[in-house]
Structures are given as C-alpha cells and as structure tokens.
Amino acid sequence: MTTTQEEDRLNAQIAFAVEIDKLKRVIRRNSLMDGSRRENDAEHSWYVGLLAMILAEHAPQGTDIQRVVAMLLVHDLVEIDAGDTFVYDPVAVAAQIDAERAAADRIFALLPSDQAVLFRELWEEFEARETVEARFAKALDRFAPILANHHTEGGTWPLFKVTAGQVREKVKIIEDGSESLGVYANELIDLSVSRGHLSE
C-alpha cells in the first residue's frame, strides 16, 4: 500500500470479504452427512468446490476445472440477500430470480469495479448453464444434496415430502453436466426408494 488508490482497492476488497462472511449464516434444506444439523451455504460452497477437484474426470474432456471451482466458490453469494431457495418449490424458484439479480447488483459492487465484473461473470455463467464448466458446476451443486440425503436415510426428503419423481427431475441437470454422475445419482435414488427412504 503505497498510494491512496491502492489503499482504496484493498479497502474495497476487505469490505467485500467482511460482507461475504454472512454466507456462513444462510441455512440450506439438506443436513450434514451425520444428520446432526442443517448445512449452511459457506460449507456447502467449500464442499462442492472440492467435489469438483475430486470428480474432475467425470466432466467432459477439456473442461476447465479451475474455473468450475471458482464458479462454485461464488455461486451462492447472492443468497446473502436472497436466501436459500428450496429447489422443489417452483413458486419460490420463480420469485428468486429477481431477488438474486438485485443481490448480485449490491454484493459484487462492493469490489473494485474490474473485479466486480469478473466475479459477476462467474455467477452469471453458472446461472446460464451454457458452458461445459457451468453445466458441470451445476451438476455438482445438485449432486451434493442427493449424496447427503442418501447417506442420512433420506435426510430431509421425507421432511419436505419430496418424491423420487421430483428428485429424478433434478438428476437431468446432473446428467447434463456429467454422464457418469447422472447414472450414479439415479442408482442412489433407486437405492433410497428400495430402502424406503424416498417415496415414489
């Protein structure tokens, strides 16, 4: 920090860093894998970012995994203002779009303007699901709660009256990002149904 301009940049970066700490208090619908409590958005973001590294070979060849990781680390920041949306509630999902856009306008603008553009682009790319990177990122975002619910005897599926048909509908997004993870997710659902942890 030698000039005022550099100080301003760092101060903006720190203001953003302080703001995003709030993601640790946004609670999701699924539980931890031991069922002890519901998961928050920050630890979920860590989990799916690392999942991208672990499951990289299940992305189409040529996928830029580091961009997938970056996308997953920022993908839920808008929920600081907009809150978590239950993917099985279509009315809430529709209402969420404007709320998330307004949140993106406010939150990313805390950064120095060049960085605000880059971070927002990552989020927009994730949401648009047009690149292989965004498709794989979105697949992991859907895959993680299915894995968690499967490992907690259905977890929050019965609590929120989610059916196997609804979960299978979400698996289409997994199949779209990763063929092999799509197959695996469908196997988990069949297994959860046969064990009586998920209703048809």
Applying CB under 8 A, the residues found at the interface with a second copy are 1, 6, 9-10, 13-14, 16-18, 20-25, 32-34, 36, 39-40, 42-43, 45-47, 49-51, 53-55, 57-58, 66, 69-70, 73-74, 111, 115, 119, 147-148, 151, 180, 183-184
Smallest distance, a second copy to C-beta of residue 118, A: 9
CB-wise, 127 or 163, nearer to a second copy?
Answer: 127
Bridge partner residues of 199 (DSSP): 163
CB-wise, 92 or 112, nearer to a second copy?
Answer: 112
Q: Name, in order, each residue with C-beta under 8 angstroms of 130's C-beta and a sequence gap of 6 or more.
A: none
Angle 103-106-108 from CA coordinates, rounded to 5°: 95
Q: Name, in order, each residue with C-beta under 8 angstroms of 136's C-beta and a sequence gap of 6 or more.
A: 52, 58, 59, 60, 63, 68, 177, 178
Smallest distance, a second copy to C-beta of residue 180, A: 5
Distances (CA, A) of 180 to 13, 54, 124, 136, 193: 39, 14, 26, 11, 20
CB-wise, 176 or 179, nearer to a second copy?
Answer: 179
Smallest distance, a second copy to C-beta of residue 149, A: 12
